[in-house]
Amino acid sequence: MMKKKISLVLAFLMAASMLAGCKKTDENSAGITDTGITASEPATITQMTTTKETETETETETEETTEETTTTSAPEETTESETTTTTAPSETTIVSDPTTATAAAVTTKAAKEWNETEISETLYITKDCYSRVKAVVGSDSVKKYTAGTKINIVAATDTGYYKLADGTFIHSDYVTDTAPGGNNDDPNEEIFGDPEETTTKKPAQTEKTNPDTSKNTSSNPINTNYTKSYTDRYPYQQLSSAEKQLYRNIVEAAESFNTEVAIPDGLMSDDVFKVYVIVFNNEPQLFWLSNSVPSGYGSLSLKFEISRSKAEEMQKTIDSNVQQVMNKVNAYSSTVSKLKVIHDWVITKNTFSLQGNYATCGIYNGLTGAGELQCQGYAKTTQYLCDMAGIDCMTVVGNNSEGSTHAWNVVYCDNGYYILDTTWDDPENSYGNADFVRYLYFLANDSMIKNSHFNISTAKRGNGDRIKLYTPPACTKTACYYFKAYNKEYSDLDSAVNGMYAEFDDVIAAGKQVVHIRVTDHDTWETLTSDKYWKIFQDYARSKSKKVDNIRRQRILPENCLVVEYDIVYK
C-alpha cells in the first residue's frame, strides 16, 4: 500500500507563456476514429495531422500609443527540475491605487522555514514517535504517539511533515493510510464520492484475478523495467468482465508480438472498438501497436508498426532517457513536485508536430529524442513517465473548442484527481525560445476546462457514431493547482498587485519573459489587465531594467482560470 505523501515545494519562477483563448490545438482529425469494424475491412485510427495554433492575443503599449497585436508566443528556456527552496514572493509597498503604484520600492520577506498545503486526511502511526513543535528535523518534541494511533491531518509541508489539528507536526515516515490489521482500500468501494467530501478516494490499485489472467503472462516482454500493471489502471477497472478479458488479451498479445487475439463471447462491434481505443490510449508502453483498429468475428488480428527487433532497439533509448527523468523525479517526495518535473521535461524536450502518425501520437518520439508530438503523444509520454514514477495517471480523449480531437491526462495528486494538459502548456510563440513552459493546465480542475475540453472520454467511429469509452473521475480539487501550490494565487487586489511586482522583480532578474499570477475573482482580473495597470506595470518593468522595451498583456485566456499574465519584451 503506498503511503500518501502530500508535501509541496515552492519552486523558482518558471517563465511561462499563457495560452490565449480556447483555440489552442487545432487537430482536425486527431485521436482514434474508424470506418466501422467489419469482417473484411480494418478500421483506421486517424491520427493528429493538423496544426497546433496557439492563438495568443497580446497588446503592446508604448509611451504614447496602445497597439493590439496577435502573435504566437515564444518559449523561453525553463529549468527542467525544481529547487527545493525558494524565497517567498516579495511584498511591496505598492497599493492598488494606480496613481501611486508606478515604481515603489520592493522589500523581500525572509524565506519561510517550510510551506504548508491544507488537506484533510486520516492516517495511522506506524511506530512509536513524537510530534514536534516545528516541521523541521531536530525540533523540540511535544507528545508521544504509539503505533496504531489514528491521527487527523490538517496540512502537509514541503519538509516531509504532516500538521496535526493541535498545530504540531509528525514526519511522514511514521504514518500510513492503512489501518492496523487491515487494508483501508476496499477494491469494491465506489470510485465517485460526494463532491463535497474533503478527500477523494483513490481507486483500488489491484484487482483480484485468476493467475492465468494476471499481468506479465506473455513471454519475453520488450520492457522489463516497466512494471505498471494494466489491472491497476482506472479505465480498465471501469470495464465489464468480458471487456476486461479482451483488454487483457490485447495487451498480452501485443507485449509478445502475437497478432491473434480472441474476442470473448457477448461483445459487439462497438465494444471491441471501445476496448481497443482504451488500450491504445492507456498502454503507452505498447508504442509499436498500430493505429488501425483490427476487425474480425471471434478474433482480432493485431497490427504492429515496427518489428520486435526495432522495438527492442528503441526501448533501450527510451530506458536511457526515462532514467534521466526519474533521477530528477526521485529527488522529490511531493507528488506535485514530481509531476512538475515530468510536466516541464515533456514540454521542453518536445514540440508540436503537424504530422499525425504512430510515432508522433505515442512515446516513440516523446522519449527517444525525436521530439515531435501530437497531443496524443504528449499525453502518452506524460502517462508513461507517471507510470514509472508510481503516479496514477490516465489518458483522456475528447474535443477542443474548435471540435478537433484532443488528448490530455487525469492524474491523482495528494487529495484527488486533477487535469494535466502538457500539449496546451507547451506554447508556440514569437520570442524565439523553444523551451517555454506555462502552467495554465498544470493540475487544473474540471471547472477550469469546461469551456475548452468537450466530449470527454469519447471517440468517433467511421460511421459517425460517438462511443463512450469510460467516465473519468471527477476533478474537483484546487489545492494542487500550480498557482495555488506555489503561492501565486491572490484573493484581494492589494495582495495581487504586490504579487505582480514581486513576479516582475524575479522574472526580470532572471532575464525571462512571463509574469503571471492567479486571482480568485473576475473583477480583480479585469482591474489588473486594464489599461491603467498595464501602464503601471510597464513603467515598473522599465524601471527595473533598461533592457525592457515594453510588456504585452494576454487578454484571451479562459476566464474561469483567472490568470493574469504579462509578457516582457526586451530590446
- Pull the grid cell for residue 326: 526519474
Q: What one-character-per-residue DSSP string does 57-77 give?
A: EEEEE-SS-EEEEEE------
d(C-alpha 379, C-alpha 335), whole Å: 18
Give Cβ neighbours of residue 213 (< 8 Å, ≥ 6 apart): 245, 248
Helix (H) or strand (E) holding 118, with range, is strand 116-125
Q: Cβ-count burial of 62 within 10 angstroms (0-12 exposed, 13-18 middle, 19+ buried)?
A: exposed
Q: Is 192 exposed, middle or buried (0-12, 13-18, 19+ CB in 10 A)?
A: exposed
Mean pLDDT of successive 10-residue stretches along the chain, which has 571 residues: 35 31 33 40 42 42 37 34 35 33 36 76 85 85 88 85 90 78 33 25 34 42 86 97 97 94 94 96 95 83 94 94 95 95 94 85 89 93 97 95 90 95 80 71 94 92 92 95 95 96 94 90 94 97 95 79 91 91
Q: Which residues touch 99 (CB under 8 Å, ≥6 apart)? A: none
Query: What is residue 29's predicted lDDT score, i.e. its pLDDT?
Result: 31
Q: Are 442 and 463 in contact (CB under 8 A)?
A: no
Cα radius of gyration rounded to whole Å, the chain: 25
Would you state the pLDDT for residue 124? Answer: 85
Domain edges within the chain:
116-157+159-176, 211-307
CA distance 425 to 4: 27
3-class secondary structure, 104: coil
**218-249 confidence digits (pLDDT tens):** 445 787 889 999 999 999 999 999 999 999 99
Q: How would you classify the pairing of strands 514-519 and 489-490?
A: parallel
pLDDT score recorded for residue 355:
82
* Three-state DSSP string of 209-231: CCHHHCCCCCCCCCCCCCCCCHH
Write down the pLDDT at residue 98: 35
Residue written as grid cell 513603467: 539
Residues listed for the chain: 571
Nearest residue to 110 (alpha-carbon basis) of 90, 140, 96, 94: 90
Q: In what order do the strands lie in the sheet with 393-400?
A: 442-444, 416-420, 405-413, 393-400, 453-454
Specify the residue for cell string 470473448. 264
- Provide the pLDDT for residue 83: 35
Helices and strands per DSSP (H, E), number in the chain = 12, 28
How does DSSP classify residue 86? Answer: -
Based on the number of CB atoms within 10 Å of its own CB, is 553 exposed (0-12), middle (13-18) or buried (19 or more)?
buried
Beta strands in 374-465 (DSSP E): 393-400, 405-413, 416-420, 442-444, 453-454, 458-460
Is 76 within 8 Å of 431 (Cβ atoms)? Answer: yes
For residues 6 and 239, what is the distance between their CA atoms, to the nearest angstrom? 30
Structure-block grid coordinates of residue 565: 499574465
Top CATH class, 116-157+159-176? mainly beta
CA distances from 116 to 7, 135, 398, 485, 489 (A): 8, 10, 35, 9, 14
